[in-house]
Amino acid sequence: MKIKKYMAMALAVVMAAGLLAGCGSPGEDTAAKSEKVTVGTWKTAQTITPYFYDEFMPESVEVLPFTNPGDQKTALLAGSLDMCGTTLVTAITAASKGEPVKIVTSLCNKCSALVVDKDSGIQSEADLKGKRIAYVPGTMHHALLLEVLKRNGINPDTDVELKRIDFFDMGQALVNGDIDAFLSGEPYPSQAVQEGYGRILSYPYFDDSVGTINAAMIVTEDTIKNKPEMVQDLVNAHVDATRMLNEDREKWLNKSAEFGTDKALLEISADNIELCSDIDDTFIQNTRNLADRMKELGMIDTVPDIDAIFDLSFLEQAAKRR
């Protein structure tokens, strides 16, 4: 009887230990997630990746939505964000002003298109001469539009009328006949095609200059200096989330549809979107070419040190995990 009693007591101790261990694990997870990082991005299919960081981060992640990269960068410099998305144009402009930002991973490529009315007589980029074209100044799409015009010998100051119209309103302006063309990011070009009022004139990707580069994720120099482990966690999460979304198109588009864009439209526009994380020599050279173009086109006064804009050490460490 004593043997049975001792066995029962031993079993009770083991079970209790197991229960305590089981209770301790969630506590440890909660403690690990008690630290919070804040990331800014847009609510678009091409910039959605940060919404999945929390699946891969030891810290808790708060994602704040913005409508433009300039506001994100301002919030980053003010210390309200730990990391944010940006277009390469915004990053270059910031660096040209001496602002302490660093690109640590890419975010998306492609995403742009030049759109005209479906019944328009505009059949080539050269036909844009004398036309009214909608744009948003200081954006990646602005730079691409100016590149298109330059390549076709069209002076943006005298040969066309550039009309400042928000991306959200460009389609309606085309329908109303207020403009002849617009250059914007997805899903608006695909929406024009889907709804039957527009057609794609061209995709402004030039392999001999800026290629398909578009957007990246940035942090401040102070954040790299004071919180390098956090930056590494963020870059690791970005790499992992990007890989996951590229392998699971449905998960990517279903989450994107939660932001209010029709799933059928997302299916169309996804063919002109490339989620990414890598930064190679070509990416850096295209960024250098973009900066030169921006200087030529009067978008910046000084070309910054492009190599200094990038800190690739975190991507290099992320790659070593494979």
Q: Report the 3 state secondary structure along 117-131.
A: ECCCCCCCHHHHCCC
Quick check: 29 pLDDT over 80?
A: no
pTM for the whole structure? 0.87
Whether residues 290 and 239 fall in one domain: yes
Partner residues linked to 38 by β-bridges: 62
CATH number reported for the structural domain that contains residue 131 in this entry: 3.40.190.10
Note whether 254 and 284 are same-domain residues: yes
Asked, for residue 30, whether it belongs to a domain, the answer is no
Q: Burial level of 38, CB count in 10 A (0-12/13-18/19+)?
A: middle
CA 213 remoteness from chain centre:
10
Residue 29 lies in a domain: no
pLDDT greater than 80 at residue 274? yes
Asked which of 27-41, 46-60, 78-92, 162-176 is least confident by mean pLDDT, the reply is 27-41
CB 100 within 8 A of CB 220: yes
Question: 120 with 91, same domain?
Answer: no
Give the residue numbers spanning the domain of 187.
Answer: 112-202
Overall domain count for the chain: 2
Binned at pLDDT 50, 70 and 90, residue 210 comes out as very high
- The answer to whether residue 286 sits within a structural domain is yes
Residues 134, 280, single domain; the answer is no
pLDDT at 158 over 50: yes
From CA 48, how far away is CA 107, in angstroms rounded? 9
Query: What would the mean pLDDT of 252-274 be, rounded to a whole number?
Result: 97
